[in-house]
Structures are given as C-alpha cells and as structure tokens.
C-alpha cells in the first residue's frame, strides 16, 4: 500500500493510492496516517479495503508529510563510503548517529525556506525507514520485522550551521522545512529488499546524486538492531539511513542552494519529491 496525507498544512486527511495512482480518501476508515495506523492489525484492515470504493481526493490536493505523530527522526551520518570520502571524513567504525527535530518535517512538494543567515544549504536524498513495531534489543535477523514501511526523506542540511557554529549537527539539520518526507509511506511488503534501491537527486534538472542502497556501509537491518541497543525505537519513528555521494558540499567548487532552486528526488518504488527552495521571511 502507498499511504499519503493530503490537504492543507495542519489539516491533512489520510489517503491511499489506488491502482491508477489516484489518491483516495481514507478518512472514513482511519483518523490519520499516524503511529496507531501502523500496527500490523490496522495495516491488515486497510489491506482488505478496495481503494476504488473510497472517494477520490480533490484534484491537485497538496500532499503533506506521509506520517503524522513521528516521535523522533534518527539520522545516520557517513553511511556511504563515497560520501564519507567527498566530505573528507573517515569511514565510521560503527553507525554515526544524530537527530533531526520533528518540527523540520515538510510535505514532499512544499517550499523549503532557506534560513536568513544560511550560506550553505545542501541536499541529501535518503531511504527513510518507518518503524512499525517497537524495537528494543532486537537482533539483526529480527530487525526488518519491525519495519512498517519506507519513504523518501531529504535530509536537508546547512553545512555552516552543522559544522562551524559550535556543538553538534542539530542546528544545521533541524531548520524549519528541512525534512521533506514522502510523497508516500510505502508498506514494507512492497519493498522486497531495502538494499536494492536506486536513489537520485536532481538540482535544477541536473543529476547530482545517483546512488544505490546496496552501497550502504551499515544496512537497514543492522541499523535497526544497532540503534535498538541504545533506545527503544517506537512505532512511527523514522530512521534516515544516510546519503550517497553527490551533495553540494562535495562538489568542486562546493555548490549550495539559493532561492529559486528546485531539488527533485526519487527512490525506487517510493515515488518522487520536488522542493522549491525559497528565502525565509
């Protein structure tokens, strides 16, 4: 299933794609696409519904972030060798973790504001993993059973805030709008192998990132197991699994986003995002 949230910001309704890719209104069936919706029994209930029997969403309705009520966004840094190399960083011995505030969430086609003092706003296409069942001390072998689904996440990053402004990455990762996710939350049954996906970023039409999840240093199952040794991963938590090479900071010379730039991203089976970057007001 491909689950979405459609409608104005803050007033999104739950939806599901039908066979023709049309959004159907699920609001008569569930209140929202939220952690409670991701329980295996709830997903089974949705699977039994024929989307064609549901009302069609209004033509051209905005899509919001594909999941409401996300508790935490855990991000993995330097999880692709070539990306570590382009940032002149050592390949980490174990997964490098940082967090992104949930207030950064954005719809997949919403504008992304460039903060007033930003000089180095950058793109990072990533496979987002959505937790379906709480995970604590899970083994790698059991880890994927805790996944409800997958989505695209752009781990938008302000490199100067991230690296030069004292302390951790948080300032450069949590600006408003710096976490476009979606368009769809694709349930795990549709993604046979999360390590078999292609990821692409285009900036103003030019391909900048062209990676494969098979190149991850630490795969999805390892990441879930690893993170669950430190904290419980709750239903609805999202893991951003790292970005392949081709970010603006790695270009010669580095290239960063300015108002008017358009970033498009796609991941096999997970759809497409398009973000216009704008000056913040």
Please give the Cα distance from 272 to 180 (Å, whole number): 11
> What token pair was written down for 22?
């049309």
Nearest to 169 by CA among 263, 258, 73: 73
Number of residues that bind Zn ion (CB under 5 A): 3
Minimum gap (Å) between residue 243 Cβ and Zn ion: 5
Alpha-carbon gap, residue 204 to 158, rounded angstroms: 19
The distance of closest approach from Cβ of residue 137 to Zn ion in the complex, given in angstroms and rounded to an integer, is: 25
Stretch that binds Zn ion, among 3-11, 22-30, 122-130, 270-278 (CB under 5 A): 122-130
CB of 97 to Zn ion, least distance (A): 11
Residue whose structure tokens are 């689950």: 3
The only residue of 122, 154, 155, 200 in contact with Zn ion, by rule CB under 5 A: 155
Name the one range near Zn ion by CB under 5 A: 93-101, 124-132, 195-203, 206-214. Answer: 124-132
User: Residue 159 burial by CB count (10 A; 0-12/13-18/19+): exposed, middle or buried?
Assistant: buried
Cβ-based neighbours of 128, under 8 Å, separated by 6 or more = 150, 151, 152, 153, 181, 238, 239, 240, 241
57-76 residues near Zn ion, rule: CB under 5 A:
none
Please answer whether residues 129 and 270 qualify as being in contact, where contact means their C-beta atoms are separated by less than 8 angstroms.
Answer: no
Residue 241 is a binding residue for Zn ion (CB under 5 A): no
Q: List, in sequence order, the alpha helices (H) in the chain.
A: 40-47, 81-86, 140-143, 159-164, 170-173, 220-227
Residue-wise DSSP of 94-159:
S-EEEEE-GGGEE-TTS-EEEPTT-S-EE--EEEEEEE-S-BSS--HHHHGGGEEEEEEEE--EEH
Which stretch, 13-21, 55-63, 154-162, 200-208, contacts Zn ion (CB under 5 A)?
A: 154-162
CB of 141 to Zn ion, least distance (A): 26
Residue 239 Cβ, how far from Zn ion at the closest point, in Å?
Answer: 11
Q: Which residue is nearest to Zn ion (CB)?
A: 155
Q: Is 124 in the site for Zn ion (CB under 5 A)?
A: yes
Residue 226 DSSP SS3 = helix
Closest separation between CB of residue 206 and Zn ion, Å?
20
Q: Is 209 in the site for Zn ion (CB under 5 A)?
A: no
Closer residue to Zn ion in complex, CB, 209/243 = 243
Residue 264, interface with Zn ion (CB under 5 A)? no
Instruction: Tell me the window of 21-29, 99-107, 123-131, 257-265 that interacts with Zn ion (CB under 5 A).
Output: 123-131
Give the residue with the Cβ less far from Zn ion, 235 or 243. 243
Nearest distance from residue 23's CB to Zn ion, in Å? 28
Using CA atoms, how far residue 243 sits from 91, 129, 160, 215, 236, in Å, is: 13, 13, 18, 10, 21
Binding segment (CB under 5 A) for Zn ion, from list 78-86, 110-118, 138-146, 239-247: 239-247
Among 213, 243, 255, 266, binds Zn ion (CB under 5 A): 243
Q: Which residues of this chain interact with Zn ion, rule CB under 5 A?
A: 124, 155, 243
């Amino acid at each position: 299933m491909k689950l979405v949230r459609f409608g104005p910001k803050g007033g999104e309704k739950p939806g599901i794609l039908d066979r023709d890719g049309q959004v159907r209104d699920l609001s008569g069936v569930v209140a929202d696409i939220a952690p409670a919706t991701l329980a295996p029994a709830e997903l089974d209930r949705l699977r039994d519904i024929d989307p064609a029997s549901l009302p069609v969403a209004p033509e051209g309705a905005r899509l919001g972030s594909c999941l409401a009520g996300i508790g935490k966004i855990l991000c993995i840094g330097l999880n692709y060798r070539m990306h570590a190399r382009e940032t002149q960083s050592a390949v980490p011995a174990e997964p490098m973790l940082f967090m992104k505030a949930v207030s950064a969430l954005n719809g997949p086609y919403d504008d992304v504001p460039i903060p007033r003092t930003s000089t180095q706003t950058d793109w990072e296409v990533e496979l987002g993993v959505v937790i379906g069942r709480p995970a604590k001390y899970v083994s790698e072998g059991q880890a994927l059973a805790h996944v409800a689904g997958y989505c695209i996440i752009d781990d938008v990053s302000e490199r100067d805030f991230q690296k030069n402004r004292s302390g951790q990455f948080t300032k450069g990762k949590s600006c408003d709008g710096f976490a476009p996710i979606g368009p769809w939350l694709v349930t795990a049954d549709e993604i046979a192998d999360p390590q078999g996906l292609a990821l692409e970023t285009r900036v103003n039409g030019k391909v900048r990132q062209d990676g494969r999840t098979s190149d991850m240093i630490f795969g999805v199952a390892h990441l879930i197991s690893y993170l669950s040794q430190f904290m419980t991963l709750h239903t609805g938590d999202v893991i951003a699994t790292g970005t392949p090479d081709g970010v603006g900071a790695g270009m010669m010379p580095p290239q960063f986003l300015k108002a008017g730039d358009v970033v498009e991203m796609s991941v096999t089976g997970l759809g497409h995002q398009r973000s216009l970057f704008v000056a913040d007001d």
